Amino acid sequence: MDQRKYNIYFHTHTISGIIVAAILYVIFFAGSFSFFKDDISAWQKGKSTVAEEINPDYNYILDSLSEKHNLLGRNFDFYLLRQGHGTYVNMSTSQDTTVSKPKPKEAGQRRGRGRGGDEDSAYFTYFFADKKTGSYADSYDMGEFLYRLHFLAQLNQVPIRIGTPFGYLLAGVVSFLFLFALITGLLLHWDKIKSNFFLFRPWSKWKTVWTDMHTVLGVIGFPFQLLFAITGVILIVNFVLISPFSKLLYKGNQEQLYEDLQYNRSMKVEYTYEPMEDSFDLNKFVEHWEEEWTDSQISRIHIRNYQDASMQITLEAKPLPKANFAGSGFVQVEVASGKLLQLKSPNTDANYIDGVKSLIYHLHFGDFGGKPLRIIFFILGLVGCVVIISGIMIWLVARDKKNIPAYKRKFNFWASNVFLSTCLAMLPVTAFTFIMLKVLPQINQSVIYSVYFYSWLVLSVYFIAWRNLPTINRQTLLLSAILCLGVPLANGILTGLWMWNTLRTGALDIFFIDALFLGIAVACAYAYIKVRQQAKPFKILKG
C-alpha cells in the first residue's frame, strides 16, 4: 500500500472512530446485555417464562375491560411480548357514537400503536401468569431499559426537534460512521493481517500492547461488528432511507408504503350499527390458528368493530427460527359470517420482503441459534467494547510525547480521562442497578432511570476526579467484581431464588442471569488480581 492511501485510511479511521467512540461503547455494552432481554425481565419479576407453560387468556382481558367500559364498536390491538408471557393492549374509543365519539386522527401522527388518547380509550400492559395490568411506565423493566439504551431511545426526550426522534437519529449516525471506521480499519491493517493475526506482545511497551489488542480483537470481531453496523443502520434509520421512495413511488403516501413493506396492516371496516347475534370466543379463535400454524408464534391480534355485525379480526404470526428462518403470516376473518378475507401462511408463503426483513432482524437480534448463539454474540459485543477502549488508549499514548505542546497533551488526556471514566463506569453501575431492583420496594420506569443515570453520573465524576487511568481501571475491576457478585446474592437473599433453587425448578432464565453476573464477577476478580500483581507501571500526563 502506498503512503498516500495509508494516510487516508489512517486518518479516516482515527477521526471517525474518535467521534463515535463513547456513544458506540454505550451501544455495544447495552446491546450485549440486550441479547438476554427476556431473561432479564424474568429475573426482575422473579417469574420464569420457561419453567411453566403459560396459557394466554384473551377473553379474561375483554371481560375485565367490559366491567368498566361498553366495548361495543371498539377496536382492539394486542401486541404480544416475544416470550408470550404478556401483551400490550390498545383499546380505542367506540365507533358507535351512542357509546363514545371517536376523535379524529391528528395531522402528522406517527405510525405505530397508540397510547390511549383519552379516558374512554386505554393502553396498558397485561401479564398472563399473574393477570396483572399496568401502564407502560409501571411495567417497565431493566431488560426494556438496556434494550432501548442500545439505540439511545432515552435521548428522544431531549427537546431537539429535527423532524425525527433525536436519540434514533444519533444512533443511526453513529452506526453509519462506525461503518467508515470498520472498513478503513480493515484496509489499514490488510497488508499485515496474515503475518500479525496472532501477534500479541503483552510484555512490550504500552503502545504496542494496546495496538496488538486493538488490531487482533478488531480483526477477529470484524464480521460481527460489520454485521451489526449494517443491520443497525437499516433498523434505526429506515425512516430516512425509505422516505425518498414514498415521495417518488407512492406520492407521499407513507402508510401505503409501510403496508406494502408489511409493517402495517390496514383494516378499514364500515360500522353498521347492527349488533352481532352470536358471541365471540377469542381464545378459541387463536387456538385454532395456533394449531393450524404449527412451529409459529402469534405476534399481533387486531379486532375491528367489536360485537358489531361488521366485526373483523386479524391475526399476525411469525415462524419460529428453528422451523423457518424467513416468513410471516396473517389471516383476516369476517366474524359474523366466518368468511376468510385474507390468508398468508407463515410457514409456506414467504416472499422476498419476508426474506430481507427476517435476515436483518434475525442477524441483529441473534434469535435463530438459541442461547449458545446469544452467548457468543454477547462475548463478541464485549470484545467490541475492548476494541473501542484500546483504540482510545492507542490514540492517547501516541500523542503523549514531549514534542507535543503541553496544552494539546492536556486536552488529549482530559478527553481520554472523561471517555474512559464514563465508559468503564457502565459495568458496576449496571450491576448496582440490578441489585437495587431487588432492594427497592417499587420499580417503574422513573425509578430505573433515576438509579441508573444518577449512579452513572456520580461514579463517572468520581473516576474523572482521580485523573489516573491505571487507578480507574483497578477500581472498576474491583467494584465490578463486588457488585456483580451482589446480583445473585441479592436475588437469593431477598426473594429466595438461589441459583440451586432456580436450576432445580427449571427456571433457567432466572438462573442464567445469576450465573452470568457470577461469571463476570469471577472474571473481574481474576483480572484485578493479575493487574495488581503483574501490570507494568503506566505513566501519563495527569492534567
Q: Quick: pLDDT tens for 449-496.
A: 999 999 999 999 999 999 888 899 999 999 999 999 999 999 999 999
- Counted residue by residue, the chain has a size of 543
Classify residue 64: in a domain, yes or no. yes
Q: Do the domain assignments include residue 133? A: no
Smallest CA-to-CA distance from 387 within 423, 362, 359 is with 423
Q: Are both 17 and 47 inside the same structural domain? A: yes
Distances (CA, A) of 35 to 30, 305, 367, 373: 9, 38, 8, 10
Comparing C-alpha atoms, which of 173, 161, 166, 152 is closest to residue 108?
161
300 phi and psi, to 5 degrees?
Answer: -145, 150
In this prediction the pTM is 0.87
Would you say 123 and 116 are in contact if contact means Cβ atoms under 8 Å apart?
Answer: yes
Domain shared by 62 and 193, yes or no: no
The list of the chain residues with pLDDT below 70 reads 1-3, 5-16, 101-119, 189-210, 212, 239-246, 252, 260, 534-543
- DSSP state for residue 137 in the 8-state scheme: T
Q: What is the pLDDT of residue 64?
A: 92
Whether residues 500 and 410 fall in one domain: yes
148 in the same domain as 9: yes
Dihedral angle, C-alpha 375, 381, 382, 383, nearest 10 °? 110
Distance between CA 10 and CA 13 in Å, rounded?
5
Q: Are residues 516 and 535 in the same domain?
A: yes
Same domain, 435 and 409: yes
From 399, 419, 449, give the residue that closes a domain: 399
d(CA 28, CA 9): 24
- Residue ending a domain, among 362, 386, 412, is 362
Indicate if 42 and 177 belong to the same structural domain.
Answer: yes
206: cell is 504500552
Same domain, 174 and 254: yes
Q: Does residue 420 fall inside a structural domain?
A: yes
Sign of CA dihedral 247, 253, 257, 260: negative
Does residue 135 lie in a domain region?
A: no
Cα–Cα dist 313/268, whole Å: 11
Tell me, yes or no, whether 134 lies in a domain.
Answer: no
Question: Both 518 and 469 in a single domain?
Answer: yes
How many domains does the chain divide into?
A: 3
Per-residue pLDDT at 421: 94
Look at residue 531 and tell me if it is in a domain.
Answer: yes
Do 441 and 525 lie in one domain? The reply is yes
pLDDT recorded at residue 99: 83
Q: In what order do the strands lie in the sheet with 329-334?
A: 132-134, 122-127, 86-91, 76-80, 296-304, 312-319, 329-334, 339-344
- The range of the structural domain enclosing residue 146 comes to 1-52+140-260+369-399
Distance CA 374, CA 365 (A): 8
In a domain, 417, yes or no: yes
Which residues, other chains included, contact 225 with Cβ-Cβ below 8 Å and sequence gap of 6+? 178, 182, 218, 380, 384, 387
Indicate if 153 and 179 belong to the same structural domain: yes
Angle, nearest 10°, between helix axes 508-534 and 469-495? 150
Do 513 and 423 lie in one domain? The reply is: yes
DSSP 452-497: HHHHHHHHHHHHHHH--HHHHHHHHHHHHHHHHHHHHHHHHHHH--
